[in-house]
Amino acid sequence: MKRKGFTLIELLAVIVILAIIALIATPMILNVVEKARIGAVKESGHGYVEAVEKYQLEGQLDSSMYQIPKNTVIKINACETTCLRDLIEVKGEKPNGSNDYIKLDTKGIIEEGKLTFQGYEVTIKNGKIESVTKVNQTQEESPIEVVEPSLGVGVSNFVIDEEGNLWYIDVLVDKTISRKKIKTDTKFRYLDVNYHYLGTAIDTKGNLLLLDNIYDAVYDSALTEIQVLEGVKSVTSDRKGNIYAIDNKNDLWKMNINDSEIEENEGNIINYNFLKMPIKEGTKFKSIISADESNYVMTIDMDGNLWAWGDNSFGQLGDGTQEDKTEPVQIKEGTKFVSVSLGFAHTMAIDVEGNLWAWGYNSFGQLGDGTQEDKTEPVQIKEGTKFKSIAAGNNYSVAIDEEGNLWTWGNNYRGQLGDGTAERKLIPIQIIEGTKFQSVSTDGLEEHDIYTTAIDEDWNLWIWGYSRKYGSDSSIIPITQEPVIAMQLKK
């Protein structure tokens, strides 16, 4: 009699055999796939390395401009100053890790580096790929940007901690420090506050937010946040209601909240109409800043060129005149800049070599050149010293040199220089000696409340300056505060 089908034992045997084959074949298949992925990652790594070195060799990259001389590390995706990733045209994938970096030697060869592609980490030594390892799943790139503690611009009392929380720091009548955490679920990366207390901020997702009357939130009111643009890396605003923003594609946008087309839904603002600024068609930008009280703007393009427009009553634009400009003019052509800061009517900037330049209003010695004469063109300050951070305040200036030393000069009648006196200084003086600093901010809004804040290398927040408080009998109580640590910003 002919048998139909398989017995149960035969079926089980077939299943076991197939399972054994799968157990043997699956690792082989996965290994082939893994090798293919690693091969693709190596190709991407080779392509990016060759592209960087080609750009460097052909002079398309200025190594000092992009801070990649020998023994200096540059983060590829750090776009606060320069985003090297966006400057390199390469076929295939670009590195996407938030901590990716390279370091070039004097010949333009990548001495060492780390690149991340598709979840794999590529280690580079002496221009060659040394290893490719899979990134631990618990360490994969987060869609939320890592926050470095930072100081508010315009009003130095505001500070952002490492978790993106926004704080307001103040000095009380008894000279104790008040630390107020602003009530909001939003995590911030950058904050700028203008003369009329309009806050413009960038959250950790790159959204541009308007914070309507941010001081109300200091006194427990809910913080009003209006999202107006996505994918933003730099923003500034002025007292006329102009807001300038640079997006992740390095394009410059402008809006004015007083005459913008506003879409509303049930009384809630949901959209503002942004228009691109007509500044050199095709030009890409990396940073922008405005002066609140004297209405002028400065921006640095991706090539390091400095542009200015607006009020020029004291020569603060730096073009050699005192004529206002309605269109951007290039300042100090031939010099490449990495940062710029604006005070009441004076300007400071650092070039790619770390040299400090200043120009504009100088009645209080805020330029630091030893005189009290206005300058309509940039003059070099403290020649021979290299600087990494600057902040121009209300007729005074603060800077940090490359060794982390903190310098102040200019008006000091509110103690804002932090040297324990009320005497103005016409040249830079060093304060808080022995402590190394990494960033600084000044308060240029109100003469009756002038604070200076700085973050040292241990992430301590320092504050000093002057404020007026009202006593129980409505009398005005002046408070002068010498430098003191207000809080720890990073654990």
Average pLDDT estimate for 269-281? 64
Name, of 104-113, 169-178, 202-211, the range with top average pLDDT: 202-211
Name, of 16-25, 293-302, 439-448, the range with top average pLDDT: 293-302
Residue 81 has what pLDDT? Answer: 41
Q: Count of residues for the chain?
A: 491
Average pLDDT estimate for 452-460? 90
Average pLDDT estimate for 295-302? 91
Rounded distance between C-alpha atoms, residue 226 and residue 433, angstroms: 42
Query: Would you state the structure tokens that stand for residue 268, as one six-digit string?
Result: 């809630």
Surface-to-core class of residue 157, CB atoms within 10 Å of its CB (0-12 exposed, 13-18 middle, 19+ buried): buried
Residue 264 has what pLDDT? Answer: 52
Query: Would you state the structure tokens that stand for residue 187, as one six-digit string?
Result: 């995590």
Query: Would you state the structure tokens that stand for residue 412, as one six-digit string?
Result: 């000091």
Q: What is the pLDDT of residues 177-212, one digit of tens each?
A: 778 888 888 899 888 877 556 788 899 888 888 887
Confidence tier at 376 by pLDDT (50, 70, 90): very high
Say yes or no to pLDDT of 66 above 50: no
Residue 476 has what pLDDT? Answer: 54
* Concatenated DSSP letters of 437-454: EEEEEE--SBTTBEEEEE
Rounded distance between C-alpha atoms, residue 369 and residue 108, angstroms: 37
Of 122-126, 300-304, 332-336, 381-385, least confident by mean pLDDT is: 122-126
Rounded distance between C-alpha atoms, residue 156 and residue 169, angstroms: 9
Say yes or no to pLDDT of 274 above 80: no
Rounded distance between C-alpha atoms, residue 476 and residue 467, angstroms: 10
* Concatenated DSSP letters of 146-184: PPPPEEPBS-TTEEE-TTS-EEEEEE-TTSPEEEEE---
What SS3 state is found at 38?
Answer: helix
Confidence tier at 395 by pLDDT (50, 70, 90): very high
Rounded distance between C-alpha atoms, residue 413 and residue 477, angstroms: 16
Of 141-155, 185-199, 449-463, least confident by mean pLDDT is: 141-155
Q: How many CB atoms lie within 10 A of CB 314?
A: 21
Rounded distance between C-alpha atoms, residue 11 and residue 45, angstroms: 49
Residue 142 has what pLDDT? Answer: 34
Say yes or no to pLDDT of 70 above 50: no
Q: Which residues pair with 300 in a beta bridge?
A: 287, 306
Of 97-106, 264-273, 304-313, least confident by mean pLDDT is: 264-273
Q: Higher model confidence: residue 80 or residue 40?
A: 40
With residue 462 as reference, give the H or E element that holds it. strand 460-470
Average pLDDT estimate for 382-410? 94
Rounded distance between C-alpha atoms, residue 423 and residue 430, angstroms: 14
Name, of 11-25, 134-148, 157-171, 328-342, the range with top average pLDDT: 328-342
Q: Higher model confidence: residue 388 or residue 82?
A: 388
Q: DSSP strand E in 33-78: where? A: 74-75
> Please, what are the domains in the chain?
8-139 (no CATH), 150-488 (2.130.10.30)
Q: Is the dihedral of CA 359, 286, 81, 240 positive or negative?
A: positive
Residue 54 has what pLDDT? Answer: 66
Q: Contact, 254 vs 274, CB < 8 A?
A: yes
Name the DSSP class of 319.
S
Surface-to-core class of residue 322, CB atoms within 10 Å of its CB (0-12 exposed, 13-18 middle, 19+ buried): middle
CA–CA distances in Å: residue 331 to residues 151, 300, 344, 354 = 27, 10, 19, 17
Residue 322 has what pLDDT? Answer: 96
Surface-to-core class of residue 407, CB atoms within 10 Å of its CB (0-12 exposed, 13-18 middle, 19+ buried): buried
Average pLDDT estimate for 146-152? 59
Of 14-28, 96-110, 186-200, 272-286, least confident by mean pLDDT is: 14-28
Q: How many CB atoms lie within 10 A of CB 33?
A: 10
Average pLDDT estimate for 394-409? 95
Mean per-residue pLDDT of the chain: 77
Q: Contact, 424 vs 411, CB < 8 A?
A: yes
Say yes or no to pLDDT of 257 above 60: yes
Name, of 196-205, 269-278, 365-374, the range with top average pLDDT: 365-374
What SS3 state is found at 190?
Answer: strand
Rounded distance between C-alpha atoms, residue 462 and residue 298, angstroms: 28
Q: What are phi and psi of 393, to 5 degrees?
A: -110, -160
Q: What are phi and psi of 469, to 5 degrees?
A: -115, 155
Amino acid letter, residue 60:
Q
Distance from the Cα of residue 274 to its chain's centroid: 22
Rounded distance between C-alpha atoms, residue 108 and residue 125, angstroms: 13
Name the DSSP class of 423.
-
Q: What are phi and psi of 78, to 5 degrees?
A: -85, 105
Query: Would you state the structure tokens that stand for residue 217, as one six-digit string?
Result: 């939130």
Q: How many CB atoms lie within 10 A of CB 17?
A: 10
Confidence tier at 127 by pLDDT (50, 70, 90): confident
